[in-house]
Homo-oligomer: A and B are copies of this chain.
Amino acid sequence: MPKVVDHEERRRELAAAVWRVITRDGVANVSMRTVAAESGWSSGALRHYFATRDELLAFACQQVLARVTERITALNPQGEPHEVVRVLLLETMPIDTERHVEASITFAFLALGLGDPKLAAVQRQILVGMSGLCLNLISHLLPMESRERQVSLARRLNAVVDGLSVHILASHLTPAEAVSELDAHLADLPT
């Protein structure tokens, strides 16, 4: 057998190059060539692991989801329920450089794939996962509320988190302002 490389590992490495290109030059500048140059490989080598550009983009998007969910599940927060919810949700918001990269990529893909069904599936995973997390958190935080009320508050929490994230990304809020607003929202939840 000839030299064989770990395909999955190589694909992750190439996805990281996609992230760097997106954060530096914007999602519009992601091409086979730019990603190849960024990763240090030739375009032909890139094509061994991703047949088309759409495939490359979809994988890069999925990798963001994988990283965030892995970080969240690895996290095992202790302490007061409000604090637990806070820590978990902050894991998804662009409050530092690493998370800012992830969030900007997520939103770039969301806007880019408003019509592309290939990417829409990945987006769906992200949104469903996020809303599921919110519903879990709310139901643990407010177990006495009715189910409909829980669903409503979870939807709203989801909207607050994503809305604040968008406003950070657009430089309309600072991370500190957004975090304190999330805190205020959690504090205002019905007891």
Chain A residues proximal to chain B, CB less than 8 Å: 25-28, 104, 107-108, 110-112, 114-116, 120, 123-124, 127-128, 131, 152, 155-156, 158-164, 166-167, 169-173, 177, 180-181, 184-185, 188, 190
Contacts and interface: CB of A to CB of B under 8 A. Distances in A.
Nearest to A161: B163
A147 to B, nearest CB: 14
A7 to B, nearest CB: 28
A181 to B, nearest CB: 5
Contacts of A155: 173, 177, 181
Contact of A163 (B112, B152, B166): B166
Nearest to A166: B162
B163 A114 contact: no
B27 A111 contact: yes
Contact of A110 (B27, B115, B131, B170): B170
Contacts of A27: 111-112
A25 B127 contact: no
Nearest to A131: B172
B181 A112 contact: no
A78 B180 CA distance: 34
A129 to B, nearest CB: 11
A134 to B, nearest CB: 11
Contact of A159 (B25, B26, B116, B181): B181
Given A162-B166, A166-B166, A167-B158, A152 B131 contact: no
